[in-house]
Amino acid sequence: MLLIILAYLGGVLTIVSPCILPVLPFVFARTGQPFVRSGLPLLVGMAVTFALVATLAAVGGGWVVQLNQYGRGLALIFVALFGLTLLLPRLAERLTRPLVAAGSRLTETASTGAGPSVWASFMIGVATGLLWAPCAGPILGLVLTGAALQGASIGTTILLLAYAAGAATSLALALLVGGKVFAAMKRSLGAGEWIRRGLGAAMLAGVAAIALGLDTGVLTKISTASTGGLEQALVGRLSGDSHPRNLAEGGAMMAQNVPGGDGPGDAGPDSPGMQASGAMMMAAKNTAPRLPVEGQLPALDGAVQWLNSAPLTAAQLKGKVVLVDFWTYSCINCLRSLPYVKAWADKYRDQGLVVIGVHAPEFAFERDVKNVTKAMADLGIDYPVAVDNDYAIWRAFDNQYWPAHYFADAKGQIRYHHFGEGAYDESERVIQTLLREAGQTQISTDLIDASGQGVQQAADMGDVKSPETYLGYDRAENFVSQGGARHDQPLSYTTPPTLALNSWGLEGQWNIGAERISLAAPGGKISYRFHARDLHLVLGPGSDGKPLRFKVSVDGKAPAEAHGTDVAPDGSGTVTEQRLYQLLRQPGDIADHTFTIEFSDPGVSAYAFTFG
């Protein structure tokens, strides 16, 4: 709804565009004539024609982007051309001359008749749409860019219609007020032209930044620092918020880009979080759900390796109820949902349920099949796991989240999905329902109780006020060490004496990379001001694999009873492998605290903080 309102307002504001001036005298000529036979057909013709032209542009853009490796370059060329038309009016006139000529001929044809003809008014509206369609404002540019990157859709057409309706509203007011609006528009052209040129220059600067790769570095940090504005919300919605997410119970936390990808097809719901399928409805808490068909189970092709099983295909799984679990072994949200997935696999295996884990790596070290194999052994995973290092299965499902659970029936149809932790009772009832549909008659209505222990224990989300925080510069936020971050080279850092909540800093000589930070000399520290029961940090040893010692403190003291499973009460611990380490689990009431971890030896890598 927010997008539709913004698109409508953007259309209202385009009345000040110089492109619309040539047709306005014909519009004002309808002033004083019956609205139903004159004004209304004109407005309908304009809105429909503009939406049609813009939709064709969006479809064309979608075809361009589908050319894979060439799509990004061609899309940048089109955006640059659009920016040049805003900056250079003469270029815009040349490029849009065919549309303007067609609009002018229609206007002349429609204006030759006598009296308030409905058809003549509609044709003037069509001409207005043709003349006005090339005069795209910034919001319309975002709509068309989003359509090009994601493919044209009904949603895109609705946005374009809302934009056209906004322009029609402006023209309707112009019909009521008449020539006074026309004169005021002429006076505003000077300022409007400079604004138009400024927008064109800004678009060209953005194209240059993307072409130079700054969109994944400096611009990434800039964009994530101001997510509260309407512009950021609009761009996020139009782009499908294309970063994968780790989902915790009660909210979503942003993850890094898909490795090796540039805007993968991974659009998710508009309001991610602990939500089930929007189509699923529960009549009562303990009754069977009604499950619509959401689509066919995609192919499971593209995994670099299968563990605990030979490769499985959707065809082989016909006749079985299938649960596909997207996970990665350093993801705390995946680890906390894992006890339930394992329990379902054990309980319903003999009744026709097949659980398939799809391991899609978040960090580079999770691409190592040996690491995945060891993690599975440590976690007790005995069901089939597809190692999806190239994100082939991820994209086939159009997935965007860790963890994500998809439930398919015996006919190979997806009937339910759930993103993130939670909703375990509902998910198990879905399994029971699908098994009954498959012909199983001895399905119990009892539900499992699979509360996890240690790092897999459910989070206390009521006390979590700290977000997942990445330390590499691609995703880093709230870094406060003096002088800021220096990329990809060792530098000595100091941490301020006091830290605000959810800010963090470094002490000692560190090398800040895109995905991780690495300690370049002994004695380095990381400090974080947080509010949560649990604190975790993804860590790894150096390239030689040598264990690295560390010491943890809370507000300058040993953690004692607040120590995590990977830390002794005196705060000591050792990094032995690349994984998530639980460093704190606090008893009693939760408050703001300053966490510090100090490393005696160089070489350690740190990736991300998570909380629970």
Q: What are phi and psi of 564, to 5 degrees?
A: -90, -175
Please name the fold of domain 295-456.
Glutaredoxin (3.40.30)
Q: What are phi and psi of 87, to 5 degrees?
A: -80, -35
Tokens of residue 118, six digits: 């409905």
Sequence-separated (6 or more) residues with CB below 8 Å from residue 399: 244, 266, 268, 326, 360
User: What integer is the mean pLDDT of 51-75?
Assistant: 48
Residue 233 host element (H or E): helix 230-238
pLDDT tier for residue 290 given thresholds of 50, 70 and 90? confident
Secondary structure (DSSP) of 151-200 = ---HHHHHHHHHHHHHHHHHHHHHHHHTHHHHHHHHHHHHHHHHHHHHHH
pLDDT at 148: 46
Secondary structure (DSSP) of 293-345 = --EEPPP-TT-SEEESSS---TTTTTTSEEEEEEE-TT-HHHHHHHHHHHHHH
Does 29 score more than 60 pLDDT? no
- 511: β partners: 518
Q: What is the CA radius of gyration of the chain?
A: 29
The answer to which of 148-157, 382-391, 461-470, 473-482 has the lowest mean pLDDT is 148-157
pLDDT at 407: 98
The answer to whether 295-456 and 461-611 have equal CATH topology is no
- How many contiguous H segments (helices) and E segments (strands) does the chain have? 16, 21
Q: Please check whether residue 317 is in contact with residue 412, taking contact to mean a CB–CB distance below 8 angstroms.
A: yes
Nearest-angstrom CA–CA distance, 464 and 174: 53
User: What integer is the mean pLDDT of 317-346?
Assistant: 96
Q: Please check whether residue 243 is in contact with residue 259, taking contact to mean a CB–CB distance below 8 angstroms.
A: no
pLDDT at 163: 75
pLDDT at 152: 47
User: What integer is the mean pLDDT of 461-471?
Assistant: 93
- Write the pLDDT tens digit of every residue in 340-350: 999 999 999 99
Sequence-separated (6 or more) residues with CB below 8 Å from residue 87: 197, 200, 201, 204
Domain ranges of the chain: 2-211, 295-456, 461-611
User: What integer is the mean pLDDT of 74-79?
Assistant: 51
pLDDT at 249: 47
Q: Please check whether residue 584 is in contact with residue 550, taking contact to mean a CB–CB distance below 8 angstroms.
A: no
Write the single-letter amino acid at 305. Q
- Write the pLDDT tens digit of every residue in 11-20: 776 655 555 5
HEC sequence for 399-441 = CCEECEEEEECCCCEEEEEEECCCCHHHHHHHHHHHHHHCCCC
Does 93 score more than 70 pLDDT? no
Does 328 score more than 80 pLDDT? yes
Nearest-angstrom CA–CA distance, 20 and 572: 71
pLDDT at 143: 56
pLDDT at 444: 85
Residues listed for the chain: 612
Peptide bond into 403 cis (omega under 30): yes
pLDDT at 140: 55
Handedness of CA 502, 505, 510, 513 (dihedral sign): positive
- Write the pLDDT tens digit of every residue in 116-132: 467 666 766 676 566 55
Write the single-letter amino acid at 172. A
pLDDT tier for residue 164 given thresholds of 50, 70 and 90? confident
- 528: β partners: 504, 595
Does 193 score more than 50 pLDDT? yes
User: What integer is the mean pLDDT of 296-301?
Assistant: 93
Tokens of residue 161, six digits: 């219609």
pLDDT tier for residue 297 given thresholds of 50, 70 and 90? very high
Does 181 score more than 70 pLDDT? no
Nearest-angstrom CA–CA distance, 328 and 247: 12
Does 151 score more than 80 pLDDT? no
Tokens of residue 195, six digits: 């604004």
pLDDT at 453: 86
- Write the pLDDT tens digit of every residue in 564-591: 999 999 999 999 999 999 999 999 999 9
Q: Please check whether residue 341 is in contact with residue 355, taking contact to mean a CB–CB distance below 8 angstroms.
A: yes
Check residues 356 and 262 and name the one with the higher pLDDT.
Answer: 356
Q: What are phi and psi of 385, to 5 degrees?
A: -130, 125
User: What integer is the mean pLDDT of 193-209?
Assistant: 60
pLDDT tier for residue 551 given thresholds of 50, 70 and 90? very high
The answer to which of 411-420, 444-453, 495-504 has the lowest mean pLDDT is 444-453
The 3-state DSSP composition of the chain as helix, strand, coil percent (nearest 5) reads 45, 20, 40
pLDDT at 462: 87
pLDDT tier for residue 236 given thresholds of 50, 70 and 90? very low
Does 209 score more than 80 pLDDT? no
> Considering the chain, what is the average pLDDT of its residues?
75
Q: What is the CATH number of domain 461-611?
A: 2.60.120.260
pLDDT at 39: 65
